[in-house]
Amino acid sequence: MMTMSELLELFLMLLPVGLLPGGGLAVIAIIQELMVSSGLMEISEAVNIVAISEMTPGALAASAATFVGMRLHGVIGAVIATIAISLPSLVIISLVVKFFSKSFEHERVRAVLACLRVVVLGILASVVVTFGREALFGHGQDALSFAIILAMIAVSFLMMWKKWLNPPLCILIAGAIGALFLR
């Protein structure tokens, strides 16, 4: 049975994440780290946040927060988590549109945005390392499973790089292959 303090803890944990610039996989990495470091999820479970978030429509961060909230506290947890992750963006974008829309033409603002892109790149690199370690070594795979996973990584990369498949479709195909061959 969830308590009001657990819901408040979830809200306060995710609210600052909604303040972060960027989104997508960078924010998902932070949500994963929060869930694992707080003991609310194991790393093997937290890795599923990306798969679920990619398969559902909408913003990745909102999907990830909704998944985490649902997993921890059911429907009310999903609602609280979604509000927590979305509220800062709603407030910030409203203020930006109202007061700062012309500021994006200034050189210093462009410089700040360029620096933020570098930070997001670092966060994404962290996601790749974390997922790679868990996918390759986290489940005690045998040599065949390891080879299948490496092949899926290579083929997925090629398919997306050449724009033959979009990322959600690649994820669905990889999930199907995993369900069939990596039990």
pTM recorded for the entire structure: 0.56
Q: Can you give the residue range of the structural domain that contains 53?
A: 4-102
Q: Is residue 94 part of a domain?
A: yes
Higher pLDDT, 18 or 143: 18
Q: Is residue 50 part of a domain?
A: yes
Mean pLDDT taken over the chain:
81
pLDDT score for 23: 67
Q: Is residue 140 part of a domain?
A: no
Q: Is residue 62 part of a domain?
A: yes
DSSP letter for each residue of the chain: ---HHHHHHHHHHHTGGGGSSS-THHHHHHHHHHHHHTTSS-HHHHTHHHHHHHHSSS-HHHHHHHHHHHHHHHHHHHHHHHHHHHHHHHHHHHHHHHH-GGGGGSHHHHHHHHHHHHHHHHHHHHHHHHHHHHHHHTT---HHHHHHHHHHHHHHHHHHHTTSS-HHHHHHHHHHHHHHH--
Number of domains in the chain: 1
Q: Which of 48-52, 86-90, 130-134 has the lowest mean pLDDT?
A: 130-134
Q: What is the pLDDT of residues 168-177, one digit of tens each?
A: 788 788 778 8
pLDDT score for 140: 64
Q: Is residue 18 part of a domain?
A: yes
Q: Is residue 121 part of a domain?
A: no
Q: What is the pLDDT of residues 102-132, one digit of tens each?
A: 777 788 887 887 888 888 777 777 777 777 7
